[in-house]
């Protein structure tokens, strides 16, 4: 066992155990992931992702890396933006999520390259992509600083990183948000996905994720410039943007 500890939700675990525990969560929820996203957010996750896609300065023929791409929502949007001459990679560290995403895109007639990839050790060359995106995946990574540095490495100079993630909700809403997250969310997980524990973890992982200003500084520390963020839905989520110069 390693002496290094990290958090898994509100629990403290050995660093080498976290990846496996997170994997168990997403193996469990993969088949019902889209349904639960719609139920949990009231469909707002689609608005957040749509805003993210429309925010990007992306040209036809561009190269995009979608990290922790899950069921492929962003990859689909990026593929439309870059066109047939472009290149969009759908990646995820979880094989169940990646399979669901790949099959879903194939069913829509969209064939994209996919890779089972660890964001902390990306299997791509330096200075390759015009855009890197990660939506609702950064908070599950053990070494977020290492993952951000890898994202910086694979971006071309002038390339952009977009991080869409749950964040710090505005203070007047904290009480209601906590009630929803820790009382209602696990119940919905049990009823819809037959898995209350995984959704309890998801609620806890949101609370343990760095707030807006902390993540902004982490992106600066990873080498990004012009880092800024945009709050959505009263800070429930935030879109962070950084540029590699």
- Quickly list DSSP for 187-205: HHHHHHHS-HHHHHHHHHH
Strand partners, 165: 238
CA dist 214 and 163 (Å) reads 13
Alpha carbon dihedral 155, 161, 166, 172, in 10-degree steps, equals 150
Helical axes 185-193 vs 33-41, angle rounded to 10°:
150
CA dist 29 and 158 (Å) reads 36
CA dist 161 and 131 (Å) reads 6
Binding site listing for S-adenosyl-L-methionine:
71, 92, 118-119
Task: Look up residue 142 and give its two tokens.
Answer: 């053990």
**For residue 196, how far is the Cα from the chain centroid?**
21
Binding site listing:
71, 92, 118-119
Judged on CB neighbours under 10 Å (0-12, 13-18, 19+), 194 is: exposed
- Beginning with the edge strand found earlier in the chain, give each strand of the sheet holding 237-243 in spatial order: 114-116, 87-92, 63-67, 129-135, 155-166, 237-243, 225-232
DSSP state of 142: S
């Amino acid at each position: 066992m390693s002496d290094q500890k990290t958090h898994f939700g509100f629990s403290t675990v050995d660093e080498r155990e976290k990846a496996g525990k997170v994997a168990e969560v997403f193996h469990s929820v993969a088949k019902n992931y889209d349904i639960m996203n719609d139920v949990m957010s009231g469909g707002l996750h689609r608005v957040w992702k749509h805003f993210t896609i429309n925010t990007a300065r992306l040209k036809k023929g561009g190269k995009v890396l979608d990290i922790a791409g899950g069921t492929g929502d962003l990859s689909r949007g990026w593929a439309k933006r870059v066109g047939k001459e472009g290149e969009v990679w759908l990646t995820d560290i979880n094989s169940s999520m990646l399979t669901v995403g790949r099959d879903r895109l194939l069913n829509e007639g969209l064939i994209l390259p996919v890779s089972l990839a660890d964001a902390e050790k990306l299997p791509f060359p330096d200075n390759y992509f015009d855009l890197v995106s990660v939506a609702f995946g950064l908070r599950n990574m053990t070494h977020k600083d290492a993952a951000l540095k890898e994202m910086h490495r694979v971006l071309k100079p002038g390339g952009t990183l977009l991080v869409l993630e749950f964040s710090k909700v505005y203070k007047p809403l904290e009480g209601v948000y906590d009630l929803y997250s820790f009382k209602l969310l696990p119940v919905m997980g049990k009823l819809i996905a037959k898995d209350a524990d995984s959704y309890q973890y998801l609620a806890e992982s949101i609370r343990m994720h760095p707030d807006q200003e902390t993540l902004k500084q982490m992106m600066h520390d990873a080498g990004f410039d012009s880092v800024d963020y945009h709050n959505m839905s009263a800070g429930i989520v935030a879109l962070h943007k950084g540029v590699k110069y």
